[in-house]
Structure 1
Amino acid sequence: MAVVLVVGCATRLAYNNLDVWLSYRFSSYVSLDSSQDSAFDRGLDRALAIHRRQELPKIHRTIDDLQADLLTPMTFSQMQEYYTVFTRLGQDSAAILADPLADLLVSLNEAQVAQLEGHLRQRFAEYDQKRAKLSQPEKLAKRAERLQDFTQDWLGSLTSRQEELLTELAGYQLEMSPVFRSLRNGYFERLKQLMENRTSPAFKAQFTQLMRDMVALNSPKYQAEIRFYLNRRFELMRRLNHTMSPQQKAFLNRKLVNLRKDVALLINQ
């Protein structure tokens, strides 16, 4: 689903303004001079042109395949396969965007690096503090509500059984929170270490690998826990898929048709 969102939240307008959004988001973490800002904008333009030409056709084909497979109830293996396919697409998209971002990071001076790391650390702390104020039932309810809202966008109205399944998924995610937090902190430490050697010829390749690992939740230390969580999620999503009514299937198909049309139009712009 990350790849679907990269397409621009199913709107061509958002995708066509993705360079502006990315530049704006990065500027909220570090102040750039005019030269850095211009170089970053040019790099984003080149990266998104490559993404449009190279990655959007892959996304289009995958959505088409998904529509065909959704005509019958999906199996555990199919859930696993589509996770792998969409994760790989997400990694490839991240790798393309990593190129201009790596160039920008190389250009940062020590004060800018400190500002970037400080803002990231502050955002993490604010998020952790906000979550720490909630009880476990409150965390579960909030996460379940978010999952249900997201699913309603794709299926329409949900049944009570489907809401129960999504609450179950929220519980899986809540159990994994310590692992997800450790992954985040580990990726941050890797970024800090990379930034200490950002003038190295190997920096861009190492930074790109970090981006790919983040998208796929790769971590040797936690790979067993991640695999266990994903398998539970695949099985739950299989059960959720089997509860879909004809109306929900039609609703989802219309959403995917519109998304596929948007991607096709973006490819041919």
Structure 2
Amino acid sequence: MSTKIPKWAAFTLSVVMVAGCTTRLAYNNLDVWLSYRLSSYVTLNSSQDSTFDRGLDRALALHRRQELPKIHRAIDRLQADLLSPMTYGQVQEYYTVFTQLGQDSAAILAEPLADVFSQFSNTQVAQVEASLRQRFAKFDQERSKLSDSQKLAKRVDRLQDFTQDWVGSLTSRQKELLTELAGYQLEMAPIFRSMRNGYFERWQQLMKNRTQPEFKIQLTKLARDMMALNSPQYQSEIRFYLNRRFELMRRLNHTMSPSQQSYLNRKLVDLRKDVALLINQ
């Protein structure tokens, strides 16, 4: 539960963001990785550990059967649409498509999490809360040590590294656009931090009723809201940020050279093939 998508709710992104054999390796070891992530927050007893492992196996089998085909189709559509410069509406549409894929994946993962959370003792709940508070404080403290220019430079570096992974070398104009995007993100940092704290408070309230029948439904809704950056208090700010980002991504797409387009297409071809292999394993 940071200002980014929470790691336990974002396993679809490990599929749609990484190309090549790394995708298959990561996906086929998600059960180990997610169990490790949970164990970094709380110590489970043997019964809870078994409950989570069984539930996670069912969830990942369902995800492979139900969600991976959706991801494959979305990548295929994206490849076709990238043959021509994308419109603002297309950029917005694909954000919606991949956000919904992430939400559906998070909802599947919420099932085994809800099952094990419902078995937590008060001591275990306190352990998770303490772990989260410690991580939030560390993250906020590290950020507070940086000047605005340092924060911007760090975000720019991250965006450039990510973009270069997908399109190859960047032009000076493309670097300018990514710097602009980093500025948007920096402006939103206080909002994202407040949203993080709000999601944490919702989780705390949910855990007080973790033995109630509606707990699983409510935890699933929280996971979906986190994935989509849904927050009634800040929805107008989020909408404004996303609209600015969509327009910038449209401009960035229109700057791509034929060699960059070919580079991106090859990456997407590899990714689509990898997802197909995962589906048929």
Q: TM-score, normalised by structure 1?
A: 0.98
Contact map agreement 2:14 2:26 (CA 8 A) in 1: no
Q: CA 1:7–1:45 in 2, change beyond 3 Å: closer, same or farther? A: farther
- Residue aligning to 2:80: 68
Counterpart selection for 1:161 from 162, 167, 173: 173
Contact map agreement 1:8 1:18 (CA 8 A) in 2: no
Cα displacement string for residues 48-74 of structure 1 (whole angstroms, at most 9, x for unaligned residues): 000000000000000000000000000
Q: Partner of 2:85: helix, strand, or coil? A: coil
Contact map agreement 1:23 1:41 (CA 8 A) in 2: yes
Counterpart selection for 1:5 from 14, 37, 57: 14
- Residue aligning to 2:31: 19
**Displacement, 1:8?**
7.4
Cα displacement string for residues 226-247 of structure 1 (whole angstroms, at most 9, x for unaligned residues): 0000000000000000000111
**Displacement, 1:185?**
0.2
- Residue aligning to 1:99: 111
Give the partner amino acid of 2:148: Q
Q: Partner of 1:176: helix, strand, or coil? A: helix
- Residue aligning to 1:199: 211
- Residue aligning to 1:267: 279
Mind listing any 5+ residue stretches in structure 1 that lack a counterpart?
Answer: none
Name the CA distance, whole Å, in 1 between partners of 2:62 and 2:112.
Answer: 12
Name the CA distance, whole Å, in 2 between partners of 1:261 and 1:182.
Answer: 39
Q: Does 1:130 align with 2:142?
A: yes
**Displacement, 1:42?**
1.0
Cα displacement string for residues 202-229 of structure 1 (whole angstroms, at most 9, x for unaligned residues): 0000000000000000011100000000
Q: CA 1:135–1:221 in 2, change beyond 3 Å: closer, same or farther? A: same
Counterpart selection for 1:40 from 52, 77, 92: 52
Give the partner amino acid of 1:13: L
Name the CA distance, whole Å, in 2 between partners of 1:13 and 1:42.
Answer: 21
Q: CA 1:145–1:164 in 2, change beyond 3 Å: closer, same or farther? A: same
Calculate the aligned-residue CA RMSD, in Å.
Answer: 1.1
Name the CA distance, whole Å, in 2 between partners of 1:168 and 1:226.
Answer: 17
**Displacement, 1:36?**
1.0
- Residue aligning to 2:189: 177
Name the CA distance, whole Å, in 1 between partners of 2:207 and 2:16.
Answer: 29
Mind listing any 5+ residue stretches in structure 2 that lack a counterpart?
Answer: none
Contact map agreement 1:7 1:15 (CA 8 A) in 2: no
Q: Does 1:114 align with 2:147?
A: no
Contact map agreement 1:144 1:170 (CA 8 A) in 2: yes
Say which is worse superposed, 145-154 or 32-41, in terms of deviation.
32-41
Give the partner amino acid of 1:68: A
Runs of 4+ in 1 over 2 A off after TM superposition: 1-10
Q: Does 1:213 align with 2:222?
A: no
Say which is worse superposed, 29-38 or 212-221, in terms of deviation.
29-38
Q: Does 1:85 align with 2:97?
A: yes
Contact map agreement 1:156 1:248 (CA 8 A) in 2: yes
Contact map agreement 1:8 1:15 (CA 8 A) in 2: no
Q: Does 1:248 align with 2:260?
A: yes
Contact map agreement 2:107 2:220 (CA 8 A) in 1: yes
Aligned residues: 269
Name the CA distance, whole Å, in 2 between partners of 1:70 and 1:250.
Answer: 10
- Residue aligning to 1:236: 248
**Displacement, 1:9?**
2.8
**Displacement, 1:6?**
4.0
Say which is worse superposed, 141-150 or 29-38, in terms of deviation.
29-38
